[in-house]
Amino acid sequence: MRHRHHTHCPGHHAPRRDEHGRGGHGRHGDFGGRGELMRGRRFSSEDLQLMLLGLLAGGDSHGYELIKALETRSEGAYVPSPGVIYPALTYVHELGLVEADVVGNKKSYRLSEEGRRFVQARQQRLDEMFQDLALLARKMKYLRGAMAEDGENPGGAWLPEFVEARRRLKRALLQKSDAPQEEQRRVAAILLRAAAEIEGTAAGAEGGPAPRG
């Protein structure tokens, strides 16, 4: 069964909805491994809707395929949930920016002519967001390599105690994944002090021994 719905919003301002699919300026989809890494950098609902339209410019897709496309582009660092994707698709559908074919219990979405004009008018912003996803993917690859359990000492370049220290740190952080806020703050303070000390030692190595305090 084919279903097409065209509801036009006067002036066609950029679509906005909150994380529950309601109108507004809500934000969702933390940058990071399913919301954990790089917390604080986020896509707005409007940005996500534009990215979905940009992906549909490349061809028809189901909602799940769009989720996987965003996951692939970001190396798994940005994976919006179905509870975010489908309300966004419903919204741009209601605006007439996409059309939908219903087959069984699945919808296949594609850009309408109006949707293509909408994307073309915002191509620069869309390119910037996809570049952000590519940057995020590179960072995710780096983090995975840095925290890998296997093959984490290529060519035996690192001392065994260095490798063991990284393993213990990873294990300790995983154990704190569900820690209350106060414990998270305590751990964060420890990590920041350690990072500052490591960075200070590295800086001091260029011009002689790092100062001791």
CA distances from 3 to 15, 63, 101, 106, 192 (A): 21, 16, 5, 11, 54
Going residue by residue through the chain (213 aa), what tens digit of pLDDT does each one get?
444 444 344 334 444 444 334 343 333 333 333 333 333 346 889 999 999 999 999 999 999 999 999 999 888 888 889 999 999 999 999 999 999 998 788 889 999 999 999 999 999 999 999 998 888 888 777 766 666 655 555 556 778 888 788 888 887 887 777 788 899 899 999 999 998 998 885 444 444 444 444
Q: What is the pLDDT of residue 66?
A: 96
Q: What is the pLDDT of residue 40?
A: 32
Nearest-10 crossing angle of helices 63-73, 123-147: 60
Closest CA to 118 of 38, 19, 195, 46: 46
Domain 45-147 in this protein, CATH class: mainly alpha
Assess contact for 52 and 66: CB atoms under 8 A: yes
CA distance 108 to 118: 19
Strands across the sheet with 106-111, in order? 2-3, 98-103, 106-111, 61-62
Q: Kind and range of the H or E element at 14?
A: none
CA 162 to chain centroid, in Å, comes to 30
CA 61 to chain centroid, in Å, comes to 20
Let me know if 14 is exposed, middle or buried by CB neighbors in 10 A (0-12, 13-18, 19+).
Answer: middle
Angle formed at CA 175 by CA 169 and CA 178, multiple of 5 degrees: 130
H-type alpha helices, 102-180: 113-121, 123-147, 160-175
CA distance 35 to 51: 18
CA 197 to chain centroid, in Å, comes to 30
